[in-house]
């Protein structure tokens, strides 16, 4: 819900910038009162090489990023720029199966494990729950850097960008939502889940004006490889989505 309210706010800011452009035909993005751009990205994750029994539900495996990007023009035309930035990136790895991902204990200490949620959350009578949602959610501070190309220097132009980003994980948690005996329960456990501290990847973006389509390929693993012996696999996902560039 917080993300929804934030998107509405950013859409309002975007509409305001369009109104300014319509009333001032000489307005260009480099003459904006606010330097740089605020970029919102929303996408869905996909990975065909997942650990056994841990296939992603792509529709619920969502990504939300919020970045501030600054323009450094190359040449006098204003059509090419280098854009460094910073911001927050969130990922949700939502699983199709009834698994509960957590850190191992006892004989599997130091490993990430995927437990059978039906067994873990069964009640004292052995009644198993109906799992509604199970996922892990890392949050990163990211530094993106991209090279942008425009058909002209105004906001109403075709755009294409190539870039990459690195990030440091600042939070991570595992969540599960299930219904049992007529009651909906939610469990959230905050820990590092043996995830890699850093992530990195490359991306491309194409669009017109403030609206763009983008694709991102992670080049890093989700978990530290030494911790995945039990689940026998890792994630290095693709993300497909749309982005909105404001002011």
What is the tens place of the pLDDT at every residue in 46-95?
999 999 999 999 999 999 999 999 988 888 787 899 999 999 999 999 99
Structure-derived torsion over alpha carbons of residues 196, 199, 201, 206, reported in degrees to the nearest 10: 130
Segment 185-205 mean pLDDT: 95
62, 84 Cβ separation under 8 angstroms = no
Q: What is the pLDDT of residue 6?
A: 52
Query: Does the pLDDT of residue 220 top 90, yes or no?
Result: yes
pLDDT > 70: what percent of the chain? Answer: 86
CA torsion through residues 98, 100, 104, 110, sign: positive
Closest CA to 42 of 166, 206, 215, 220: 215
Q: What is the pLDDT of residue 33?
A: 55
Query: Does the pLDDT of residue 189 top 50, yes or no?
Result: yes
Query: Could you give the CA distance from residue 187 to residue 177 in angstroms, rounded to a whole number?
Result: 6
Segment 4-22 mean pLDDT: 45
Least confident segment among 135-144, 151-160, 178-187: 151-160
- On average, the pLDDT of the chain sits at 87
Higher-pLDDT residue of 90, 3: 90
- Per residue in 104-144, pLDDT (tens digit) is 988 888 999 999 999 999 988 888 999 999 999 999 999 99
| Helix, strand, or coil (residue 29) | helix
For residue 22, what pLDDT band results from cuts at 50, 70 and 90?
A: very low
For residue 190, what pLDDT band results from cuts at 50, 70 and 90?
A: very high
Q: What is the pLDDT of residue 36?
A: 82
Strands (E), 92-129: 93-94, 99-103, 112-116
DSSP state string for 2-45: HHHHHHHHHHHHHHHHHHHHHH-TT--GGG-SS-SEEEEEEEEE
Closest CA to 161 of 43, 45, 47, 79: 79
Q: What is the pLDDT of residue 121?
A: 93
For residue 11, what pLDDT band results from cuts at 50, 70 and 90?
A: very low
What global pTM score does this model have? Answer: 0.83
For residue 247, what pLDDT band results from cuts at 50, 70 and 90?
A: low
């Amino acid at each position: 819900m917080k993300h929804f309210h934030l998107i509405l706010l950013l859409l309002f800011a975007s509409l305001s910038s369009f109104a300014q452009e319509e009333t001032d035909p000489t307005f260009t993005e480099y003459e904006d009162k606010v330097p740089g751009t605020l970029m919102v990205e929303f996408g869905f994750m996909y990975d065909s090489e997942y650990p056994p029994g841990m296939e992603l539900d792509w529709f619920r495996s969502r990504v939300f990023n919020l970045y501030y990007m600054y323009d450094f023009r190359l040449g006098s035309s204003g059509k090419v720029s280098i854009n460094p930035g910073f911001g927050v990136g969130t990922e949700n790895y939502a699983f199709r199966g009834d698994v509960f991902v957590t850190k191992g204990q006892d004989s599997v200490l130091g490993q990430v494990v995927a437990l059978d949620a039906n067994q873990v959350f069964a009640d004292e009578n052995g009644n198993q729950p109906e799992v509604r949602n199970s996922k892990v959610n890392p949050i990163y501070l990211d530094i993106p850097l991209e090279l942008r190309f425009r058909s002209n220097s105004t906001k109403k132009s075709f755009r294409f960008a190539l870039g990459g980003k690195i990030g440091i994980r600042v939070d991570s948690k595992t969540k599960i939502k299930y219904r049992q005996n007529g009651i909906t329960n939610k469990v959230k456990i905050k820990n590092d889940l043996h995830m890699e501290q850093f992530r990195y990847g490359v991306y491309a973006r194409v669009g017109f004006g403030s609206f763009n389509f983008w694709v991102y390929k992670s080049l890093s693993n989700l978990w530290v490889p030494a911790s995945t012996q039990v689940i026998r696999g890792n994630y290095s996902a693709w993300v497909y989505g749309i982005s909105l560039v404001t002011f």
